[in-house]
Amino acid sequence: MPAFTKLQKVVLSLGAFSGAAIYYINQSEDRTALASWTTNYIPSVEWDNNWDRRSPHNLVHPKKLNNSAHSENEINKQLEMKKPKATRHIILIRHGQYNTDGETDKERVLTDLGRMQALSTGERLKELGFPFTDMVKSTMSRAQETGTLISKALPSVPVENSDLLREGAPVPPEPPIGDWKPEPHQFFTDGARIEAAFREYFYRASHSQDENSYTILVCHANVIRYFVCRALQFPAEGWLRISLNHGSITWMSITPSGRVILRCLGDTGHMSPAMITSR
């Protein structure tokens, strides 16, 4: 049973009557806010605060400091210095509609509608007015073309390419889909690559980052769906339960504390109904 300060006891007592009081308990890593009516609640799954292995407590090594009162102060100082200050925003864009009859990736280029979708998404990103930091595109043809069309609206945003963001089968879905059966080895190879992509782009800001950043990732439905599940710490096997339209915008934020916020999922509100497709 944790020891409470006088102030905490007073607030807790008030909460018993109002049902709406919030109090804080100091823990080793951070301060956790608990509503008075959830004090004894045990969640079915607890949030892993150090999911990206970049929590300040993961970056400071007390054993390397001398064991003394001075070292305790130094540890606290180092922890404070390692705390992030900025939020990393990840904007995930699914490519536009493409030619599914193409036998090779080079033939699976955007359709006329797909190009319209990409241009519309670029204009929407421009309207949002975010200070975009960079854009990273999958090296597959449909993502490359989509990113290039988006760049027409955002010409000053630096662009990079990444093989990690290529489409694939991240993990066997649950429940299974009877008409979609990749070879078992495909999950083994694609899954490792897509997980590597998640670790490459999803993490809290460094303590040295002073301003919020906005990264655009132009990639694919399976990749985005897996990223969403992983970032929210939902079962990764549920990725195929999420549907994403072509040219859609998914926006996730990673706060300085490491908490993740899904701000929008598969948004195509910037397109007319006649332009919206998913397959």
- The CATH number for 181's domain is 3.40.50.1240
| 22 pLDDT tier (thresholds 50, 70, 90) | very low
Identify whether residues 103 and 214 lie together within a single domain: yes
Identify whether residues 33 and 51 lie together within a single domain: no
Residue 110 has what DSSP assignment?
B
* Closest of 140, 139, 118, 58 to residue 249, by C-alpha: 118
Region 242-254: what's the mean pLDDT?
98
| 23 pLDDT tier (thresholds 50, 70, 90) | very low
Question: What is the C-alpha separation between 225 and 89, in angstroms, rounded?
Answer: 17
Question: What is the C-alpha separation between 84 and 156, in angstroms, rounded?
Answer: 27
Q: Which domain holds residue 77?
A: 47-83
* Closest of 234, 239, 268, 238 to residue 251, by C-alpha: 268
**Is the pLDDT reported for residue 240 higher than 80?**
yes
Identify whether residues 193 and 267 lie together within a single domain: yes
- Coil, helix or strand at residue 252: strand
Residue 16: both structure tokens together: 């018993």
Identify whether residues 66 and 166 lie together within a single domain: no
* Closest of 209, 205, 170, 174 to residue 186, by C-alpha: 170
Region 67-95: what's the mean pLDDT?
81
- The amino acid sitting at 188 is F
Specify burial of residue 219 (Cβ count, 10 A radius: 0-12, 13-18, 19+): buried
Q: What is the CA radius of gyration of the chain?
A: 23
Share of the chain above pLDDT 70, in %: 81
Region 200-225: what's the mean pLDDT?
97
Alpha carbons within 13 angstroms on the beta-carbon side of residue 211 total: 7
**Is the pLDDT reported for residue 157 higher than 90?**
yes
Identify whether residues 94 and 214 lie together within a single domain: yes
Identify whether residues 57 and 20 lie together within a single domain: no
Residue recorded with tokens 């080079």: 106
Identify whether residues 252 and 141 lie together within a single domain: yes
Residue recorded with tokens 């760049």: 151
Give the chain's domain count.
3
| 145 pLDDT tier (thresholds 50, 70, 90) | very high
Can you give the pTM of this predicted structure? 0.82
Instruction: Name the least confident of 7-16, 53-62, 246-255.
Output: 7-16
Identify whether residues 32 and 55 lie together within a single domain: no
Identify whether residues 20 and 61 lie together within a single domain: no
**Is the pLDDT reported for residue 34 higher than 80?**
no
Q: Give Cβ neighbours of residue 110 (< 8 Å, ≥ 6 apart).
A: 95, 96, 97, 98, 99, 118, 142, 145, 146, 149
pLDDT reported for residue 19: 38
Identify whether residues 38 and 53 lie together within a single domain: no
- The amino acid sitting at 279 is R
Continuous segment of H or E residues that includes residue 123: helix 112-128
Residue 182: both structure tokens together: 């990749």
Identify whether residues 132 and 186 lie together within a single domain: yes
Identify whether residues 106 and 122 lie together within a single domain: yes
Region 17-38: what's the mean pLDDT?
46
pLDDT reported for residue 214: 98
Region 121-148: what's the mean pLDDT?
98
